[in-house]
Each structure stands twice: as C-alpha cells, then as structure tokens.
Structure 1
Amino acid sequence: MRHVVEMTVTGSIGLVSIFFVDLLNLFYIAQLGEQELAAAIGYAGTVLFFLTSFGIGLSIAGTALVSRALGAGDRHRARQLATSSLVLVAIAMTAISLGMLPVSGWLLTTLGAAGRTHAIADRFLWMVMPATVFLGLGMMYSSILRAAGDAKRAMWVTLAGGIVTAIADPILIFGFGLGVDGAAIASVISRLAMLALGWHSVVRVHKLTSRATPAHVISDLKPLARIAVPAILTNLATPLGNSIVTAMIARYGDGAVAGWAVLGRLVPVAFGAFFALSGSVGPIMGQNVGARLFPRVRQTLTDSLTFIALYGLAVWLILFALSGPIVHLFGATGEAAAVIRFFCVYAALAWAFNGAVFVANAAFNNLGFATYSTVFNWARATIGTVPFAMAGAWIAGPAHGAEGIIAGQAVGGIVFGIASILICYRVIDRLGQRPPDEPPMPAGPPSANSPFTSGKAATAGA
C-alpha cells in the first residue's frame, strides 16, 4: 500500500497538472462572459481527447515493456525499448494529428457544434493539434520515468506544463487580448515545456535511451504493438463514449454543452488520482510479473481498490459541499449550472467505479491480457453508455434531459466497474498457477544475459 500510495500521489500531482491546464484555459475563457466560447472549448476538447488517448495508449506499452525489462534486470533491453517507444510515439502522433486536421470541421459538426461556436472551436484545433506530438513525447518520457521508479521526476515532467500554463494563460488571454487564441498558444508552450524537461530527465539523468536505429525500432515494433494496439483501442473507447454523450447533450443547447465542458475538465482534476493510479500500478505490477511475484500483484490490486474507495468518497463529499461555489466560479447559469450541480451532488459518487475500470485495465495490460481491457472499455463506452444515457434522458424528461444523460452514464459505469474487477482477480489467480518455467509475456526478444533465459529474476525495488 505504501508503494501504491507513493507512486499514485506523486503521479497525481504531475498528471493533474495536465488536466489543470485545460481547466485553467476554460476558467479564463469563462471570465470573458460568452457562453459560446466555453462551449467551443468543450467541443474542441472532445476532439483533442482522441489524440490524448492515443498517446496514453502508446505510453502504456512503453511503460509495460520497460518496467518488465527493468524488473528482469535487463537494463540494456530497457534502454532500447525506451528509445523505440519515443520514436514510434513521435511518428504516430505527428501522422494522426496532421491527418485529423483536414476533417476537424466535420468532426465538430458531428458533435453538434454550429455557427460561431463551430468556427471558434475549429480555429482552436488548428492551432493546438499540430503540437500534440510534443504532448505525446512528454507523456512517454514521464511513463519511462515511472517505469524506472522515479515518480518524482515523472511528476515534474507533467507538472511543468501546468506551471507554464498558469503563467502564460492570463498574460496571453487578457494581457495581450488574444482570447481563445491566447489559450491555444499557452497550450502549445506548455507541451514544449513538458517535452524539454522529460528529455532532460530520461536522457541526461537516467540515461535510459540508446542510439535509435531503424533496425532496432522495427524489431521492437511487434512487442510494442502487441500491447499498444489493444491499449490504444482501449483508450479510444473513452473519448468515443465522451463524444456520444457530448452529441446527446448538444440537443439541449450551448448552455448544456458549456456545463458539460466544465465537467469534462473538472472531473480529471478532481479524480486525477484515479488516472494516476492506473498509470502507477502498471509499473508495480509489471516489475512483479517479471519477477513472478503474483501474490504481490494481487495485493497491489486490492490496495488500489481500497485507495479508490476512500479517495472517491472524499472527493464526492468535497464536490457536494462546493457545488454552489463551482457553479459561481465558472459563471454558469441556466442549463449549464443545472448540469454542473447535478453531477457534483449525485453522479460524482459513481466515479469510484470508473476508477476500478482504470485499474483493471492497467492490470490487464501488464499481465499480458490487453485484449480484456479493450473489450471492457469499448463495452462500457457503447453498451454501458448509450442505452443507459438514453434511458436516463427519457426518465428525466425534456426539462432535465441533460442531467438524465449524466445519470445514465454513471449507472453504466457502476455495472462495468464491478465486472472488470471480478474478472481481473480471476486472471491474476490463473497466472499465479502457471508453472515457474512458463514466464509471462517477456519484454520482446530477450538479450543474451536476460533473466528470462537464465531463469533468474530481480524485483528491481518493486
């Protein structure tokens, strides 16, 4: 539990800073007093969420393989995997962001954006989307540091982005009068700051990279893709579900979308520990899987769920008490205020079950069952979202349809949270019964001195 809490707390500070960047952007934009601007940021954020989720999926693969190699005592292999992960995330994020730009307008229209709101959101995307590669590299650097057990430097990589935004946002938005354009520029600068600090920590301090060669990158593509492809598919399910809900809420006007945009940035900040926990338990589990210490893998899952329950309850009580001030802080009125208040008072309590899904997904990815996390996430984003949200809107009626959609989404999360954890325990127990000479998925082709071939394993401080 001490290791879980330490890795999660340090990871939370850094990860929340990424989400805090978006929350700060929305907060400052809200001070301009135009509801269309807040709605535009909400629509743009939904599109950018797809790219961020893609980067997270790639980072999961890098974390899993590097931590396994370190846990097995094979530092040479870990350096090669770290380098290949960075090269692949740079290529992939650049290609995808440039590919999405020409269809950004169509994506916003599909989500329900129209008129001035659509034009503002599209301009924001064209300014920020090309810089997504910097965010992807920053996240990968942070993940490599977590795989090495350096939670403090991993925290500072992401925290740097939040600090830069906190300084640049008010200067650019109000000082230079750039408005939404200023928020976009601040986002780009913050991502460059993450990239710079991450490079220094991984390359200069830990020396966890090696010279990149096409042969090494190509050879590492298969083991990385084995985890990255299902992890990416898994992570893309969340923005898909978010897009579905955004399109449904858009039927109730820009006010409802503005309130949903606030929640889309408030929730990751409030529940950032859940996101950090899923990233933190991965290296812990990965190192112990490499050392074949499956009782510790199971205990890590149990301790994580205990943390989720206590943290989730505490955050809900805080949101419940501060629902009024939060509405006032963002200048929300009408439907926007109703959506925010409903979530804080009622739906936030169900977020502990979403945390359970995140942890189960991290466990599946590091145990060699990444397909399981893909299935659960997509089922939750579709079966666990659409029918539940539609039922919620129908029960709530036209006057409170947006609140009903949020309630339905929360109920679907509860169902799939319980199911994912039950199956995760069964997977761990099954792996623990394997013969000692049958190793869990190794971190790619082992080198000559790899403990996977000699039968030895090291805990690497797990």
Structure 2
Amino acid sequence: MPKTNHLLEGNIASTLTRQTLPMTLGLISLMLFHIVDSYFVGQLGVKELAALSFSFPITFTFISLSIGLGIGVSTYVAQTIGRGCDKKQNVHQSALILNLVIISLASAIGFVFSRPIFSLLGADNDMIELIMDYISFWYLAAPFYAFIMTMNSLQRAAGKTKFPAAIMAISSILNVLLDPLFIFGFGPIAAYGLQGAAIASLIAWVISCGIGMIYIQRHEHWFTEVPTLKQVQQHSKQILKIGIPAAAANMLTPITSSILIAIISGYGEAEVAAFGVGTRIESLAILMILALSMTLPPFISQNFGAKQLGRVQQAIALTRKFSVVWQFLIYLTLIAFSEGIAQIFSDSTEVHDLIQLVIYILPLGHGAMGIVILSASSLNALSQPNKALLVSIIRLLIITIPFAAIGGYLNGFQGLLVGITIGYFITAVIAAGLVNQVLKQVKARTSEG
C-alpha cells in the first residue's frame, strides 16, 4: 500500500501544527547558541566582542545566501514531489551539489577580499588581524553549515520537520559545549581565544553533517546515485530562480536595521539601547511565525505542484488568522510582564521606561508583520520570488524607513515606534493583496488548462 502524503491529504490545521512545533524548538536552540556564543566571546574582552560584531555583515551574508538557496531548494523540490517525479530526477543530490559549490566558492572569494572589506567597514589593522583569526576558520565551516541547511530544506520539502529540528538542536548544543573548551582551553586543548569560537562552530557543523548524512543514507539512500551534469544544470536553474531573490530579500533586513539605528542614534544612547532590546524581544515574540514561515512553503509548494489550489487557499487563510490571534495573545503577555522584562535588560530608569514604551507599541503590529512574513513565504512557494522580494522591499525600504522617519519627526522616539507599527499594517494589506492576486491568476490559468 502506498504511503500517504499528509501534506497533500491530511487535515490542514493539524498538519501545519505538527510541522511547525519541531521547527520552533529547533529555532529556540539556534537562538540559544548565538546568545551563548556572544556571552563567551564577551568574557575575552571588548576588542574580541567588537571583532565578532565586525564579522557579522560577512557571516549574515553567508547565512542569508544559505537561507535563500534553501528556500529555492524546498520550493522546487516540494513542487516536484507534488507532481510525483522527484525521485526520478536525482533532484536531492543536485541541490546538495549546487549549494556546496556556491558556498565553497563564496568562502574562497570572501577569504581573498576580507581585509579590504573590513578596512572599508572601519576596522584598523590590529582589529583586522583579530577578525581574521575568527573569520578564516568560519569560512572553512561555512560549506558544512550550507550542507546542513540544504539537507534540512530537502527534508522540509517532503514534509519532514523532526529531522531538521533535531540537526539544528544537535549543532547548537555541540557549539555551546565546544565554545568554552576552545575559547578558554581545557586539559590538552589550548586556549584559542576568539579563534576558538570559529573552531567550535567548524567541529560542531562537521559532526552534524556526518550525523545527518548517516541518517539520510540509512533511511532514504540519497548518496547511492550521482546526478548527471545535465540534471544538475537543469535543477540549479530552477532553484536559483527562486533562491537568488529570496537571498536578496533576507539581506535587506540588516540594511534596514542599520538605517533605523542611525536615525534613532540622534535621540540618544538610551533610545538606541531600548530599541536594541526591542529587536531581541521581537525575534522571540514572532518565533512561532518564523517557524511557520519555514513549514508553510513546502505545504503550499506540494499542493501547488499537485494542482490542489483549494488546500493552498485554505492554508493561507488559516495562517493569516493564526498570526493575528497568536500575536495578539503574545502582545498581551508582553504587556503583563513588561516591567519585569525591562528590569532584566537594564538598571537605568531611563532605559527601563523606554523598553516598556517599545513593548507597548511595536508588538501591537506583530500580527500584521506575521502576515507579511507568511505572504513572502507563500509567494516563493507559488514560484513568484520576484513578488516576494517586492514585498520585502516595500516593507523595509519603502514603508518602514519613511514612516519611522516621519513619526520620529512628529513625535520623537515614540512617534518613530508608532510609525513603524503603522507601517506593519499597511504592508500587511499590500502583501496579502499580492498573494490573493497571484492565487486568482493561478486559478484562472488552471481553469483554462
């Protein structure tokens, strides 16, 4: 008896819930790793922490590229699964080869041009040497990170989220355990300082890669076949068609954050500190939506490939309602604990009050932000990556920054926060409208066909 594909046949609400919960746990483990990594490096001194901060634009670029390629992989593969032809085309192997080659080449290029890049970012010669101690090993680790991301994307495309969540958790736990050993030294292991953080990541990702490959080979036998060059080229073209715009959309986020910080810095250090805390709170507050944005696209792509547009429309409508209701509940929870949260992050009365102000305003728009994030994911899943990129451009550059600037001009820091929040709602309407338009066009083409 053929195995049932729950993405194509199962109850929509229960299927998405079952898919999203493991990814939420995986994302929590990743966030824990980044917090702990920064904590241990911070123990070395201000220079080491500054060097880690200088490396962020490079590492985030690689992460954005990996995520973007992963979106392309999961969308294309999920659609081929929906059409029932993925195993005949060696698509999994082609995707792994493509991502490994791209990230390896990017790492080599990054290593060659790192010194001039960090010089342009304002690092002096001593700082550049310290940064290079870290980033050189990080470049070696990047292809392994990309390989893990690709394996995870391929599994999510098939509706399997327990494996990606487990690998994310394993790599994060290994990083947390290895960080103090290689940063500060232990027994026969020398103290490598900042370089030790990158070495820990390299070892953690190599081990995670090995575990993932063994598991997949035992259960799905991906590594017994080698795709032809023609197959790799064919699949790569389709993956990059979605992956490149998705990567570009991801890279807009740090650009926008930098511009907002530059605007807020005009109000004072307390406002910058409060806004920084707000962004950390935001990443946790929308965690479930971020996990859903990783599990919704495979569902949509498979059903889109199988021409089950009714299930696609139901899933999109359901997740929109969930975003509004869930984020409003999170908003009420944040308000209830706002004073305690503010005290955790700062002893300063001024900063404390400003953090509470941020909590009272920004999270009110998180339900709308969730609709925007899910709309971009849906457009990628419907093979409309340029429209998904357009949503990100509208959200971050056309609406968020101007509305923040206008709000700040009218009423200072509070006005800036209100402007950003209003921008969330406006962008949600635009993003939802774009998705609805695409669904109508797809439905019309299907009817004509």
Match of 1:24 among 36, 41, 51: 36
Alignment-mate amino acid for residue 281 of structure 1? L
**1:358 CA drift (Å):** 1.8
**1:297 CA drift (Å):** 0.3
Deviations 1:94-128 (A, max 9, x none): 22233334555665676677899888666544443
Match of 1:199 among 213, 216, 219: 213
Residue 61 of structure 1 contacts residue 227 of structure 1 at CA under 8 Å; is this kept in 2?
Answer: yes
Cα 1:222/1:75, change in 2 over 3 Å? closer
Partner of 1:355: 370
Give runs of aligned pairs for residues 23-172 of structure 1, distance below 5 A: 23-29=35-41, 32=43, 41-77=52-88, 80-101=90-111, 104=114, 124-172=134-182
**1:142 CA drift (Å):** 0.6
Residue 81 of structure 1 contacts residue 220 of structure 1 at CA under 8 Å; is this kept in 2?
Answer: yes
Cα 1:208/1:236, change in 2 over 3 Å? same
Partner of 2:237: 222
2:290 matched to 1:275? yes
Partner of 1:4: 16
Counterpart CA distance in 1 for 2:320 and 2:193 is 42
Cα 1:410/1:164, change in 2 over 3 Å? farther
Partner of 1:244: 259
**TM-score normalized by structure 2?**
0.82
Counterpart CA distance in 2 for 1:406 and 1:125 is 35
Mean CA deviation greater in 213-222 or 103-112:
103-112
**1:289 CA drift (Å):** 0.8
Residue 77 of structure 2 contacts residue 91 of structure 2 at CA under 8 Å; is this kept in 1?
Answer: yes
Alignment-mate amino acid for residue 24 of structure 2? S
Mean CA deviation greater in 261-270 or 87-96:
261-270
Alignment-mate amino acid for residue 237 of structure 1? L
Partner of 2:247: 232
Mean CA deviation greater in 307-316 or 105-114:
105-114
Mean CA deviation greater in 174-183 or 359-368:
174-183
Alignment-mate amino acid for residue 204 of structure 1? R
**TM-score normalized by structure 1?**
0.80
What secondary structure does 1:149 align onto? coil
Deviations 1:148-179 (A, max 9, x none): 12221121121212222332334445666766
Equivalenced residue count is 432
Counterpart CA distance in 1 for 2:365 and 2:87 is 44
Partner of 2:8: none
Residue 44 of structure 2 contacts residue 193 of structure 2 at CA under 8 Å; is this kept in 1?
Answer: no
Residue 35 of structure 1 contacts residue 255 of structure 1 at CA under 8 Å; is this kept in 2?
Answer: no
What secondary structure does 1:211 align onto? coil
Cα 1:330/1:372, change in 2 over 3 Å? same
Cα 1:303/1:207, change in 2 over 3 Å? farther
Alignment-mate amino acid for residue 19 of structure 1? M
Match of 2:329 among 310, 314, 321: 314
Partner of 1:302: 317
Partner of 2:432: 421
Residue 14 of structure 1 contacts residue 159 of structure 1 at CA under 8 Å; is this kept in 2?
Answer: yes
Residue 110 of structure 1 contacts residue 247 of structure 1 at CA under 8 Å; is this kept in 2?
Answer: no
Residue 4 of structure 1 contacts residue 303 of structure 1 at CA under 8 Å; is this kept in 2?
Answer: no
Cα 1:389/1:83, change in 2 over 3 Å? same
Share of identical aligned residues, percent?
A: 25
Partner of 1:458: none
For structure 1, the residue ranges without an aligned partner over 5 or more in a row are 439-462
Compare relative contact order (CA 8 Å, sep 6+) and give the higher one, 1 or 2: 1
Deviations 1:355-400 (A, max 9, x none): 2122111211121222110111122221123322333443454xx5
Residue 257 of structure 1 contacts residue 336 of structure 1 at CA under 8 Å; is this kept in 2?
Answer: no
Give runs of aligned pairs for residues 300-449 of structure 1, distance below 5 A: 300-326=315-341, 329=344, 340-395=355-410, 397=412, 400=413, 408-435=419-446, 438=449
